Amino acid sequence: MSRYGQSMSGEIDRVNVKEVDAIVRFIRDTVNGAKSDGVVVGLSGGLDSAVVTKLCVDAIGPERVLNLFMPSVVTPPSDYVLTMELSKKWGTEYKVVDVQPAINTFTGMLFTSVEAPLEKGNISARCRMTVLYNRAKKMNYLVVGTANKSEFMMGYFTKFGDGASDIVPIIDLYKTQVKQLAGMIGVPKEIIDKVPTAGLWEGQTDEEEMGISYQNLDVVLDNIVKMKDDEISLLTGVSEKKISEIRVQVKAMEHKRRPALRPDIGLNV
For 90-129, the pLDDT digits (tens) are: 999 999 999 999 999 998 888 766 666 678 889 999 999 9
How many residues does this entry show for the chain?
269
pLDDT score at 268: 64
What number is the average pLDDT over the span 234-254?
A: 94
Q: Per residue, what are the HEC states of the chain? A: CCCCCECCCCCECCCCHHHHHHHHHHHHHHHHHCCCCEEEEECCCCHHHHHHHHHHHHHHCHHHEEEEECCCCCCCHHHHHHHHHHHHHHCCEEEECCCHHHHHHHHHHHCCCCCCHHHHHHHHHHHHHHHHHHHHHHHCEEEECCCCHHHHHHCCCCCCCCCCCCECCCCCCCHHHHHHHHHHHCCCHHHHCCCCCCCCCCCCCHHHHHCCCHHHHHHHHHHCCCCCHHHHHHHHCCCHHHHHHHHHHHHHCHHHHCCCCCCCCCCCC
pLDDT band at 200 (very low <50, low <70, confident <90, very high): low
Query: How do residues 32-55 score in pLDDT, each as one tens digit?
Result: 999 999 999 999 999 999 999 999
Instruction: Give the range among 98-107, 207-216, 232-241 with minimum mean pLDDT.
Output: 207-216
Residue 4 has pLDDT above 80, yes or no: no
Report the C-alpha gap between 268 and 232 in whole angstroms: 45
Domain 17-210, CATH 3.40.50.620 — does that match?
Answer: yes
In the chain, the amino acid numbered 123 is I
Report the C-alpha gap between 145 and 168 in whole angstroms: 5
What number is the average pLDDT over the span 159-167?
A: 94
Query: How do residues 183-195 score in pLDDT, each as one tens digit?
Result: 999 999 999 988 7
What number is the average pLDDT over the span 5-21?
A: 75
pLDDT score at 32: 97
pLDDT band at 144 (very low <50, low <70, confident <90, very high): very high
